[in-house]
Amino acid sequence: MSNQKEKANSFRSLHNPGNPVVLYNIWDAGSAKAVADGGAKAIATGSAPVAMAQGYADGELIPLEHALQNIQRIVSAVDLPVTMDLEGGYGTDPTTVASTVSQAMATGIVGFNFEDQVVGSNELYSIEDQSQRLASAREAANVNGTHGFINARTDIFLKAKPDTHNESMLTEAIERAKAYEQVGADCFFAPGLADEKFIESLCTQIDLPVNIIALPHVPPAEKLAELGVARISYGPVPYRQMIKWLENAASGALL
């Protein structure tokens, strides 16, 4: 694929309910090349593995400049669409969000995750505030004919234990998804959601394709496809598995 617009269009076409694109999240150019060689159709970073691989904790603690340098190397390393986890846009106000998105799109990415939690707290932005932030992100993501793919994330389910998920949370998620779609979101990401009934309801009650993260307590990919999911990502799971293997291998090698 020769340019950002073509890659963005290709990436968008991968999001099909019932036939989900699988994004095995990476953290640097080396891991991106490994996943690409494994047959991936697109490359996606996760904010936690990117931060941890550079010695930082998650939550926008890795400086934006470092994160952008990292994603630039990833884009240069693979001939696939690359999407970036931009967390909360490295700022609360829409103007700062727009600046962050503009800088990220300039690296050649085709899209990004954008979450509604107030980074560093347990709170979520109100639907109205997050919609304003998303509208600014949407405008900034439209560059040189490229419609950057915005994966609008809600942390409703991630911030609550799975056995406490309920209909009220689902109703709020649906409300947020519809509001986010109105201001230009392309996909709705509900990390932490695992209940099959709730996943299916979310997929059927909103028009946006739905992204679910493959955590250990979540149904397998085949079942998620049956429920109507259009995108399956892995977040920090690959990095944590790799680090555990490395730790064990080092322990066995050291005298």
At residue 2, the pLDDT reads: 64
Amino acid at 22: V
At residue 254, the pLDDT reads: 82
Please work out, in degrees rounded to the nearest 5, the angle formed at the alpha carbon of residue 182 by the alpha carbons of 180 and 184.
75
pTM above 0.85, yes or no: yes
At residue 194, the pLDDT reads: 97
Helix (H, G, I), strand (E, B) or coil at 218: coil
How does DSSP assign 132-149, residue by residue? HHHHHHHHHHEETTEE-E
pLDDT in tens, the chain (255 residues): 469 999 999 999 999 999 999 999 999 999 999 999 999 999 999 999 999 999 999 999 999 999 999 999 999 999 999 999 999 999 999 999 999 999 999 999 999 999 999 999 999 999 999 999 999 999 999 998 999 999 999 999 999 999 999 999 999 999 999 999 999 999 999 999 999 999 999 999 999 999 999 999 999 999 999 999 999 999 999 999 999 999 999 999 986
Task: Report the C-alpha gap between 140 and 136 in whole angstroms.
Answer: 6
Domain ranges of the chain: 4-253
Strand partners for 189: 153, 211
Select from 3.20.20.60, 3.40.50.150, 3.40.50.300, 3.30.300.30 the CATH code of 4-253. Answer: 3.20.20.60
Kind of pairing between the strands at 210-213 and 21-23? unpaired
At residue 1, the pLDDT reads: 47
